[in-house]
Structure 1
Amino acid sequence: MRLPDFEAWAMFAAVVEHRSFTDAAKALSVSKATVSKAVTRLEQHLDTSLFSRTSRRLTLTESGKRLADNAARIMAEGQAAEEAARDETDELVGTVRLGAPMTFGLIRVAPLIAQFVKLHPGVDVDLHLSDARIDIIELGLDATLRIADMPDSSLRARKLADVQIHIVASPGYLAERGRPTHPSDLGNHDCLCYANAATPDTWRFAGPGQQTVAVQVRPRITVNSGEAMLPALTSGVGIAMLPDFIVGEAMARGELEEILVDWRPPAMGLHLVTPPSRLRPARVEALLDFLTTRHGC
């Protein structure tokens, strides 16, 4: 039986990650020729081209795209196995790459990261904040936090907490335009819409007696950051559907009022999402455990 060429798979993964043979070689502390030979060896073994090479550009072929995730997983699991053995006796060291939604990351995650790195001086955290739907494998993240109704996928997802969603407007807006009493009333109002939603201008509700309603709203402002809606929202531009961690303080100050309290948007949760492998370095497990125990943050 011929054993897999694990070194070649790892070097292929490094080229994919760094998008360059030269940069991959630097990251691996080997020569560019060594990386090139390893990738060529893998291509010959698989009988397929993994990259399209030109003098200016390096791109993955269709075969390369299909195999890139496998290569990243092989490399990550090999690193994790070695690090797990070392971590049994050594202090935690190395970098953890974590993703999180932009506003939630700023408000809730960043303070926890500060606490964690103080507890573990040998660990660095690369925090990637984005409200876009990201590919954690492609970005090389160890984990990401997502606020969503998680679809089935090869990724592992663990729900940490429910996220409460409110339909809110300013007292001034409601005094001028009236207070909606049913979701269908929203069609006569100006709304602020979240661009990263699957259907930004279609809002769905569940109400009394297990009723469900989908309403087409008029998007006065559409933006890819919930926090960016707040100035327009508090100044009376329209109505928005936003999570508690964005509007909670403004509601407590009386700057925003909740409406349609008998009609709830679809339930959403805070999920911790990781690649398929259960094998992770101890530093990654330590950060994930730290975040999990503080998920009410």
Structure 2
Amino acid sequence: MDRLKAMSIFVAIVDTGSLAAAARKLGCSPASVTRAVAHLEEIAGERLLVRTTRRFAVTEAGARHAATYRLILEELGHLEARSRDIAVSGSVVITAPELFGRLIVMPVVESFLAAHPHAQVRVLFLNRMVDLVGEGVDVAVRLADLQDSSMTAVRIGEVRKLTCAAPGYLAERPAPKHPSDLMNHWCIGLNEAGAQELWRYRESASARRVRSVRVTCRLALNSAAAAIGAAERGMGIVRPLSYQVERQIADGSLITLLQDYEPEPIPIHMVFQPRRGSGGAVRAFIDHAVPRLRQTFGKSLRR
């Protein structure tokens, strides 16, 4: 039997106070626990445990050996952790939409850098589709259905397209009950082209089919954060993504409207070139980020 494994088993026996409990803790068989003790006693040349049919006692020699094994295993763990940190070196170039990157991606980047002091990260906040190969990007976060099959993608969650307004705005006019009612409301657009937008909604709560409603935007901006801020101040109805307004929905500064007509959620993917994601800092970042982002969107705003 591997000597380090036997040491781990013996320390578990001492910690749990039972051979059976040690086996359960380590997920191994009772027979392997017994063999580990016999192996160590053979190497030590003395008894480490005094066993009866119902119980055991650690001998004086066993206590000394357990303390030594514990120190060896702890030091080995520290060495392995330092080796992992040193192994994760090099740089990662990441891109994400500006507000998503600032609110969601940056905390993950910062925790990655804290865990891997030899890695470097460059983050590009770009509200457009990025050519990973042409622009030298390793990892992209995309909020969209994917079309490019040449990339490897990992789904990390989804976001909803909401319709929101401030309580102050709704106090002065009736809330829309149907998407067609938006034609009689002040709307805040997210575009640079003009005062009209097409907002897409499901035809009914039970339908998957969507239809477009043409709205006139009294105010149009090219910044989601600025549009949300204007909506909070009562300037009109806005259509943010759910992650953008979690705080405002939670504190009541914005109220969701037309929930029965929301379109299907938008998937979120982490996209990377297959060869770029195979090892080193890029692979380490993907392994670090994916479970954390999935956990974030497991807690995100729900219908």
TM-score range, shorter chain: 0.5 to 0.7
The match for 2:198 among 198, 202, 207 is 202
CA change 1:127–1:231 in 2 (3 A) is same
Counterparts of 2:143 and 2:192, CA distance in 1: 12
Amino acid paired to 1:149: D
Identify the residue that residue 225 of structure 2 maps to in structure 1: 227
Match of 1:275 in 2: 273
Q: 1:248 aligns with which of 240, 246, 249?
A: 246
Q: What does 1:127-166 align with in structure 2 at a 5 Å threshold?
A: 127-166=123-162
Partners of 1:95 and 1:196 lie apart in 2 by 35
Q: Of the candidates 158, 165, 177, which is equivalent to residue 181 of structure 1?
A: 177
Q: Is 145-154 or 156-165 further displaced after alignment? A: 145-154
Aligned to 2:263: 265
RMSD between superposed Cα atoms in Å: 2.4
**Normalised by the size of structure 2, how large is the TM-score?**
0.63
The secondary structure found in structure 2 opposite 1:146 is strand
Task: Report the number of matched residues.
Answer: 209
After superposition, residues 72-151 of structure 1 pair within 5 angstroms as 91-151=87-147
Against the structure 1 CA distance between its residues 103 and 259, is the aligned structure 2 distance closer, same or farther, given a 3 Å change threshold? same
Instruction: Provide the rounded CA distance (Å) in 2 between the counterparts of 1:204 and 1:196.
Output: 18
Partner SS state of residue 215, structure 1: strand
Amino acid at match of 1:208: A
Partner of residue 237, structure 2: 239
Deviation string, structure 1 residues 218-271 (Cα, Å, up to 9, x no partner):
122333321121221111111111122211111111111111111112420211
Cα pair distance change 1:262/1:142, threshold 3 Å: same
Question: Which letter does structure 1 place at the counterpart of 2:258?
Answer: L
- Which region of structure 1 is more displaced relative to structure 2, 148-157 or 245-254? 148-157
Q: How far apart in 1 are the matches of 2:141 and 2:184?
A: 35
> Given that residues 149 and 267 in structure 1 are in contact (C-alpha distance below 8 angstroms), is that contact kept between their aligned partners in structure 2?
no
Distance in 2, Cα, partners of 1:193 & 1:156: 33
TM superposition score normalised by structure 1: 0.65
Whole-angstrom distance in 2 between the partners of 1:233 and 1:122:
43
> Displacement of 1:279 after TM fit?
5.4
- Higher deviation after alignment, 182-191 or 88-97: 88-97
* 1:148 positional shift: 1.7
C-alpha distance in structure 2 between counterparts of 1:224 and 1:266, whole Å: 24
SS of residue paired to 1:111 = helix
- The residue that corresponds to 2:39 in the other structure is none
Does structure 2 retain, via aligned residues, the 8 Å contact 1:145–1:272?
Answer: yes
> C-alpha displacement at 1:115, in angstroms?
1.0
What is the deviation of 1:214? 1.2
Q: Within 5 Å, which residues of 2 pair with 1:10-21?
A: none
SS in 2 for 1:133: coil
Cα distance in 1 for residues equivalent to 2:192 and 2:89: 35
Indicate if the aligned counterparts of 1:131 and 1:196 stay in contact, CA closer than 8 A.
Answer: no
Shift in alpha-carbon separation, 1:268–1:196, aligned structure 2, 3 A = farther
Is contact 1:99-1:144 (8 Å) kept? Answer: yes
SS in 2 for 1:283: helix
Contact 1:131 1:224 in 2 (8 A): no
Hey, what does 2:286 align to over in structure 1? 288
User: Which ranges of structure 2 fall in alignment gaps of 5 or more residues?
Assistant: 1-82, 297-303
Distance in 1 between residues matched to 2:191 and 2:273, nearest whole Å = 26
Identity %: 33
Q: d(CA) in 2 for partners of 1:227 and 1:189? A: 21
Question: Given that residues 183 and 214 in structure 2 are in contact (C-alpha distance below 8 angstroms), is that contact kept between their aligned partners in structure 1?
Answer: yes
Q: Residues of 1 paired with 2:153 and 2:180: CA distance?
A: 34
Tell me the distance in 2 between the aligned counterparts of 1:247 and 1:130. 20
